[in-house]
């Protein structure tokens, strides 16, 4: 099995494969943040910090213990979730802008901690050896990505997911309906951080060298961009946003110096013409059923 996958991976263009993997990792991160910011409505400006927790945990586990990669990722995700909970517990009582500023602050604190810890090699960062798995990285990343997409879809359409949406729409109304908003917000935050940790672990092993400065404020903004561009709260939107924003810089490469200028203009135009994001407010199920519904009627006539 592993050999077959390896030979498939070898036959593909490595450059394309590299971008695919980047997209996969971006999707995992964007879906995690989408749950916190899109579904629950808590603006998180420090998502890269939880990613860094996962990245460093996974890297250190591979370097020191070389555990199987799946176990390693689970530990990385769990630790990121725990850190998220420890931070979220006090600050999720804040709302709106205050919460956003608090996440920003804690993200900076985490970065400074990593810059000073010996185990993370301070500012020098860590070179990460290949992960302990026989499955080639591109397939591994995409397997995890699909699992995450499926998992997040189920979460969002469950009672839990609807409770989160209720909190987003009106927290006080949700409370009066018997939703323990603090508990739900904490749980959503922990799940989002868990996904960030997994994404970080994959990132660390794929890029093979990590450094605390990689997970600075701009990285958080990049992830937030994907979620907002795709449409807050929309899973297909987050996936599309992650895909578009990862491909765009590579696709625009032919413009050389003007590349990032065009990239920025693209973002502005999208926000002007689709203020709710690419797929914001688009209900795919309704769309699909409407199309199918119409067809059925035609057949009946």
* Residue ranges that bind another protein, judged by CB under 8 A: 13-20, 22-23, 112, 115-116, 122-125, 127, 145-146, 149-150, 153-154, 157, 206-209, 211-214, 235-236, 239-240, 243, 247, 249-251, 253, 256-257, 259-260, 284-285, 288-289
Measured from the CB of residue 285, what is the shortest distance to another protein in angstroms?
A: 5
Of 13 and 97, which CB lies nearer to another protein in the complex structure?
13
| Buried residues in 103-116 as b, exposed as e (16+ CB within 10 A) | bbebbeebbeebee
Among residues 6, 222, 187, 213, which one has the least CA distance to residue 126? 213
Of 16 and 86, which CB lies nearer to another protein in the complex structure?
16
Tell me which DSSP letter residue 92 carries: T
Angle 228-233-238 (CA atoms, 0-180°, nearest 5)? Answer: 55
Of 162 and 181, which CB lies nearer to another protein in the complex structure?
162
User: Tokens standing for 164?
Assistant: 């989160």
Measured from the CB of residue 186, what is the shortest distance to another protein in angstroms?
A: 26
Query: How many angstroms separate the CA atoms of 37 and 48, rounded?
Result: 14
Of 175 and 249, which CB lies nearer to another protein in the complex structure?
249
Measured from the CB of residue 177, what is the shortest distance to another protein in angstroms?
A: 21
User: Tokens standing for 148?
Assistant: 């995450």
Length of the chain: 301
Of 166 and 239, which CB lies nearer to another protein in the complex structure?
239
3-state secondary structure 60-72: HHHHHCCCCHHHH
Measured from the CB of residue 175, what is the shortest distance to another protein in angstroms?
A: 27
Q: Report CA-CA distances (Å) from 63 to 32, 45, 59, 69.
A: 26, 30, 6, 12
Measured from the CB of residue 239, what is the shortest distance to another protein in angstroms?
A: 6
Of 253 and 301, which CB lies nearer to another protein in the complex structure?
253
Assign 27 to helix, strand or coil: helix
Measured from the CB of residue 194, what is the shortest distance to another protein in angstroms?
A: 20
Measured from the CB of residue 136, what is the shortest distance to another protein in angstroms?
A: 12
Of 53 and 190, which CB lies nearer to another protein in the complex structure?
53
| Buried residues in 5-25 as b, exposed as e (16+ CB within 10 A) | eeeeeeeeeeeebebbbbbbb
User: Tokens standing for 274?
Assistant: 């689709």
Among residues 24, 243, 55, 35, which one has the least CA distance to residue 147? 24
Of 2 and 143, which CB lies nearer to another protein in the complex structure?
143
Tell me which DSSP letter residue 132 carries: S
Measured from the CB of residue 182, what is the shortest distance to another protein in angstroms?
A: 28
């Amino acid at each position: 099995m592993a050999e077959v996958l390896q030979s498939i991976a070898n036959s593909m263009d490595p450059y394309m494969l590299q971008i695919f993997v980047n997209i996969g990792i971006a999707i995992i991160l964007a879906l995690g943040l989408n749950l916190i910011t899109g579904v629950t409505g808590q603006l998180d400006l420090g998502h890269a910090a939880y990613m860094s927790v996962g990245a460093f945990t996974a890297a250190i586990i591979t370097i020191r213990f070389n555990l199987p990669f799946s176990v390693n990722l689970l530990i990385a995700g769990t630790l990121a979730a725990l850190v998220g909970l420890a931070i979220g517990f006090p600050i999720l009582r804040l709302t709106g802008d205050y919460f956003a500023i608090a996440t920003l602050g804690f993200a900076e604190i985490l970065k400074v901690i990593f810059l000073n810890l010996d185990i993370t090699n301070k500012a020098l960062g860590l070179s990460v050896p290949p992960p302990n798995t026989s499955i080639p990285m591109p397939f591994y990343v995409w397997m995890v990505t699909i699992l995450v997409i499926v998992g997040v879809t189920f979460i969002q359409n469950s009672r839990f997911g609807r409770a989160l949406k209720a909190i987003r729409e009106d927290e006080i109304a949700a409370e009066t309906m018997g939703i323990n908003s603090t508990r739900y917000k904490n749980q959503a935050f922990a799940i989002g951080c868990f996904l960030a940790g997994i994404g970080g672990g994959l990132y660390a092993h794929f890029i093979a060298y990590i450094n605390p400065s990689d997970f600075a404020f701009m990285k958080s903004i990049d992830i937030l961009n994907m979620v907002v561009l795709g449409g807050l709260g929309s899973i297909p939107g987050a996936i599309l946003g992650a895909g578009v924003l990862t491909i765009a810089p590579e696709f625009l490469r032919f413009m050389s110096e003007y590349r990032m200028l065009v990239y920025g203009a693209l973002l502005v135009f999208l926000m002007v013409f689709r203020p709710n994001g690419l797929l914001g407010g688009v209900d795919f199920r309704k769309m699909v059923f409407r199309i199918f519904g119409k067809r059925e009627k035609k057949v009946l006539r």
